[in-house]
Structure 1
Amino acid sequence: MTAEPAPAARLTELVLLAPEDQVETLAEALEALDALSVSVEDADAETPAERALFGEPGMPAPKAGWQRSRLVALFAEVSQAHEAAALLRLQDFFQGCEVVGVRAVADEDWVRLTQSQFAPVDITPTFWIVPSWHEPPPQARQIIRLDPGLAFGTGTHPTTRMCLRWIAQHPPLGQRVLDYGCGSGILAIGAGLFGAREIVAVDIDPAAVESTRLNAQHNQVPLQAGLPEAATGAFDVVLANILASPLKVLAPLLCGHVRPGGHLVLAGILERQAEELQQAYAPWLRLQVTDAEDGWILMTASA
């Protein structure tokens, strides 16, 4: 991407409390919301209620979290942290959890740290996401240049990979494509690489809109990026990688943008949420599960 790295002072931590049985789900949701990292700590550390939690050497810990766990999620922007907190509060699985607060992170070389943690990501054997500091693998034919940790969707999460995989398997040649909730613009860019004629990418966050514009320019993909009102008319493909609750609210709007014969592609959905999404979209379209990875699913429908 061509955007300058966010100043360290803008990096922000979202701190949450969660019971043991919600830690894994909450951590996965934070990753889907593009947290740069998620750490889990004992909320009762250094108190009489502290509990040891260690696995055998070389093995994972026996449980995902403590009876009362503190999750600390790092975000590139304070707006992302607040948006993540607001979206999580709407989820059914957030019952029993608590938002402790949002706080600034002390100065550190996060760009160097991020670069050390990310390598090229394969979507298909010939379709790769490659950070700017890496050379593309020789087998790559389609390449998205995107720097993980400096945007709102990097291709490392299963929901993003499944959406991009669907695009690669159903190339939108000459089609009009909408990326609703575009974040970094990665799905819109992917659609452009696979031949979309016209691409509209929208997000409620102006910072995401600007990130999409910059990433699209860097990847030489022409598109229109703006706030949600910029999405007008019907599209051959409508992509939305958000979370289940906002997807349910957006059902009539998203379905209304799919032209006859077009496709709706939804992600950010856990396997156990499939039926409620199908019910929410039933008045307009028949959703089906078409891909799954690490507990997340991709749901699609044809108009």
Structure 2
Amino acid sequence: MAWIQLKFDYKNPDADSLSDYLMELGALAVTFLDAEDKPILEPKPGETPLWEHLVVLALFEADIDTNSIDTAIQSHQFAQHIGDQYEWEIIRDQDWERSWMDNFKPMQFGQRVWIVPSWCEAPEPDAVNIKLDPGLAFGTGTHATTALCLQWLDGSDLTGKTVIDYGCGSGILAIAALLLGAEKVYAVDIDPQAIEATKQNLQRNGINSNRLVLGLPEQVELPQTDILVANILAEPLRQLAESIANSVQVGGNLVLSGLLETQAAELNSLYSQWFEMDDAKVQEDWARLSGTKKS
């Protein structure tokens, strides 16, 4: 059996209406992909955020009249938002789940940390292996900002340290810190969905919940910590700068990411009021800042 798939660029945040229209035209499934590799961080509770520049995949039965679909779409108001990429392709029958799973392999960060999907064997059984499956949100290590933070944690001695994961998402950084020897981790996020995702990933990795305090920011009293990691966005990093700085004890470490390379200098200067800041570390146009709290 075969299907036929329509693929096109779409630059409009109102993707839900487009999806409804494609389903009315006979689409069996509609998938949105990010065309610019922009992460979704900290969506509001109950919100389903979408990127502004999408790649749309609409799956139809193979005998659909593609000409009539083309005419309907091109004559609709959506047409003004469709980019140059517009094509049909035959999709052959195959084991879709296996095909999807094959796209995800264990990934190494630094010297010790591996992210290992549940269906894969750990390449290095004695390494720090985090069991984490790819999902729709919150980070699985594939984005540069998460990778930069994991690399910093991997290169640091966390033994006996207290760590705050500010904007924990999937809990990947909190889990990494615990497996790398942190004594206690405080993980907070403004999205209740992220809290649930972190709980599930803690269970998947068999981590004792007594070592982690998890909740919404208003639910968790944060101590002055040895290390604070905040992989969020540039604007909240600006707005929360003083609060974040006050949460790190003298001599403690700060790690910030979720910001573009073009935003690094400004934030480095802002946080230098409280920290001896290091040079920014850049990967794929994204930056990581780090520093040590001044006395």
Q: TM-score, normalized by length of structure 2?
A: 0.67
| The one of 123, 134, 145 aligned to 1:137 | 123
Q: Distance in 1 between matches of 2:98 and 2:286?
A: 30
Q: Mind listing any 5+ residue stretches in structure 2 that lack a counterpart?
A: 1-10, 15-33, 44-48, 57-72, 87-94
Partner residue in 2 for 1:83: none
Matched-pair contact (CA < 8 Å) for 2:264–2:280: no
Aligned to 2:230: 240
Render the CA deviation track for 1:234-284: whole Å, top value 9, x for unaligned. Answer: 000000001111111110111110001100000011111012212332332
Per-residue deviation, 1:176: 0.5
Q: 1:113/1:241 Cα in 2 relative to 1: closer, same or farther (>3 Å)?
A: farther
The aligned runs of 1:136-285 (5 Å cut-off) are 136-138=122-124, 141-149=127-135, 151-221=137-207, 222=209, 223-229=212-218, 230-285=220-275
- Paired with 2:157 and 2:130, the residues of 1 have a C-alpha distance of 15
Aligned mates of 2:248, 2:195 — CA distance in 1? 22
Q: Select the structure of larger CA radius of gyration.
A: 2
| Contact preservation (8 Å) 2:42, 2:191 | no
* Residue ranges of structure 1 left out of the alignment (5+ in a row): 1-13, 18-24, 55-108
- Work out whether residues 125 and 139 of structure 1, in 8 Å CA contact, stay in contact via their aligned partners in 2: no
Would the alpha carbon gap of residues 110 and 247 (structure 1) be closer, same or farther in structure 2, given more than 3 Å must change?
A: farther
Question: Structure 1 length normalisation: TM-score?
Answer: 0.66
Distance 1:125 1:260, change over 3 A: closer
Distance change (3 Å), C-alpha of 1:214 and 1:138: same
Q: Distance in 2 between matches of 1:257 and 1:110?
A: 46
CA-CA distance at 1:192 after TM superposition: 0.5
Bigger shift: residues 183-192 or 123-132: 123-132
Identity of aligned residues (%): 41
Are 1:127 and 1:140, in contact at CA under 8 Å, matched by a contact in 2? no
Matched letter for residue 197 of structure 2: S
How many residue pairs are counted as aligned between the two chains? Answer: 227
Tell me, yes or no, if the aligned pair for 2:42 and 2:169 is still in contact at 8 Å: no
| Separation in 2, partners of 1:129, 1:169 | 16
8 Å CA contact 1:268–1:296 kept in 2: the answer is yes
Query: How far apart are 1:31 and its partner, in Å?
Result: 5.8
